Amino acid sequence: MSFDDYIFVKPTFLRGVARAVDIGGILSNDAFVLSETPAEADRRALNSDWRAVNRDLNKAMASNAAGAKQEA
């Protein structure tokens, strides 16, 4: 699951074709995953944010460890 899966529907070729010919805009609401409550939406967004922070910290620590090994 990527960090945007909690709110956006994954695009497919057929969805793209359908949206291109959707003159009335009927399919526009299919672009988002809707939460049951605002609290659920907030919880999902915060979860995604903290996973992104964790990923960035892990990358920084791995990069720092690799740099330290090269200097030794």
Residue boundaries of the structural domains of the chain: 13-71
Residue at 12: amino acid letter: T
Torsion angle, CA of 49/54/57/63, rounded to 10 degrees? -120
Distance CA 59, CA 67 (A): 12
Distance CA 67, CA 30 (A): 45
User: Are 6 and 52 a contacting pair, CB within 8 Å?
Assistant: no
Query: Is the pLDDT assigned to residue 50 strictly greater than 60?
Result: yes
Give pLDDT tens digits for 15-43.
778 777 777 766 666 666 678 898 998 89
Give the pLDDT of residue 62: 93
Give the pLDDT of residue 54: 95
